[in-house]
Amino acid sequence: MRALKVAVVGTRGVPGVAGGVESHCEALYPRLAAMGYEILILRRKAYVGDGITSWKGVVLKDLWCPRKKSLEAIWHSLAAVVAARRAGADLVHIHGIGPALASPLARLLGMRVIVTNHGPDYERAKWGRLARAALHLGEIWSCRVAHEIISISPRIQMYLEEHYGRDSVLIPNGVELPEDSGAQNYLRELGLEEGRYVLGLGRFVEEKNFHLLVEAFSELKPEGWKLVLAGDADHDSSYSESLKRKAREAGAILTGYVKGARLAALLRGAGLFVLPSAHEGLPISLLEAMSAGIDVLVSDIEANQLPELEEGDFFSLSDPGALREALRRKLNSASRRQYDMRRYDWDSIAARTAEVYDALGS
């Protein structure tokens, strides 16, 4: 029987492109390719400069799109769906409710459609009223026209059922840290001592609230500790520029985007990981920190309340002083942790995704 051809829409690209969806796709699709599926990932040309057309059994095709945050996702998604049809794809797997605006076109072109809902992106502070309305529409259309929806968390699954009466398959994000490969030199280059720095990891956008971490750390001035922010903004904004300026004034170390062995070294060497965000789907950065076996402190939003965490791992986002006091408590007792990560095994996640593909492709 001919292998199913699956076109992937909604990621900026792989490999080595920063972002939660990007990390998700980078881990998932080589596994599915190894299982015999023909995988085509449509990448945004502005984010990839490697010129490669295949990677780990996955076919890569780059498409131009404008570098404007309000246009690039929908522009690329529509172009990618058309490219998927031309490539003879059987299934289109769309990641995110923004790209899901292209799901009716995929149905119109005769392809089976899967949408992975990574969370309510319209809650992100960076979007204006028109963009939020468009994201809501993408969520609505995905529930109406997709042959199957995958939810990455129970919270998202329950929301879709309650608001749209739409069933979905629960398949979480996974986590996989590379093995140590001499990247400890990277910590020395940054002037970091293992176990003596606080790590914030993610995009420099308003909903991540890294400014709260900078402010809390500056107020505490914990002796012998440093603050590291690993990440940047895809599109420079007044917020990202202000955050970087305040972080430098506070003596924080800004690494820019890091991936692979360097990221693994930063995670494994940290004394504490902090995620003060106001919005998440299922945060891969938190899963990575847990996989690295370090102590964590996260905001009490529902998306962060994983069953593997304890009550003391959370602080109230509604209390202005809560992060500072929780940070003080954690730094006085930070130690290595061991979490049960079996739910987030990528091989299992790939197998469950394959079941969805097979059910639609049969």
Query: To the nearest whole percent, how much of the chain has pLDDT over 70?
Result: 98
Judge if 162 and 208 occupy the same domain.
no
350 has pLDDT over 90: yes
Query: Domain containing 136: what range?
Result: 5-174+345-361
The continuous run of DSSP H or E covering 275 comes out as strand 272-275
Q: pLDDT tens digits, residue range 123-180?
A: 877 778 888 999 999 999 999 999 999 999 999 999 999 999 999 999 999 998 777 6
The predicted-structure confidence for 234-287, as pLDDT tens digits, reads as follows 888 999 999 999 999 999 999 999 988 899 999 999 999 999 999 998 999 999
Asked if residue 98 is part of any domain, the answer here is: yes
- The answer to the question of residue 339 being in a domain is no
pTM score: 0.87
The reply to whether 42 and 61 lie within a common domain is yes
- Token readout for 270 is 């940290």
How far out from the chain centre does Cα 133 lie?
22
Q: Does residue 253 share a domain with residue 316?
A: yes
Judge if 83 and 226 occupy the same domain: no
- Amino acid 234: pLDDT: 82
84-106 average pLDDT score: 97
Q: Count of domains in the chain? A: 2
Does residue 36 register a pLDDT over 90? yes
DSSP result, 6-59: EEEES-S-SSS--SHHHHHHHHHHHHHHHTT-EEEEEEEGGG--S--SEETTEE
Q: Is residue 125 assigned to a domain?
A: yes
Asked if residue 340 belongs to a domain, the reply is no
pLDDT at 335 exceeding the cut of 80: yes
User: Whose CA is closest to 26, among 150, 193, 177, 153?
Assistant: 177
Confirm whether 352 is domain-assigned.
yes
Q: Is residue 139 part of a domain?
A: yes
- Does one domain contain both 350 and 329? no
Q: Closest by alpha carbon to 20, among 313, 333, 328, 277?
A: 277
Residue 233 resides in a domain: yes
At residue 244, the 3 state secondary structure works out as: helix
**Cα end-to-end distance, the chain, whole Å:** 10
Q: Is the pLDDT of residue 9 over 80?
A: yes
- 162 lies in the same domain as 201: no
What value does the mean pLDDT of the chain take?
94
Task: Mark whether 152 and 250 lie in a shared domain.
Answer: no
The answer to whether residue 338 is domain-embedded is no
| 8-state DSSP, 234 | S
Q: Tell me what pLDDT residue 244 has.
A: 97
Task: Give tens-digit pLDDT for 38-93.
Answer: 999 999 999 998 889 999 999 999 999 888 776 888 999 999 999 999 999 999 99
The predicted structure's pLDDT at residue 126:
73
User: Residue 94 belongs to a domain with what CATH number?
Assistant: 3.40.50.2000
Q: Check whether residue 242 and residue 282 sit in a common domain.
A: yes
**140 SS3 class:** helix
Residues 292 and 197 placed together within one structural domain of the fold: yes
Q: What does the pLDDT read at residue 255?
A: 97
16 and 148 part of one domain: yes
Distance CA 185, CA 352 (A): 38
200/349 same-domain check: no
Give residue 182's pLDDT. 62
Same-domain status, 190 and 316:
yes
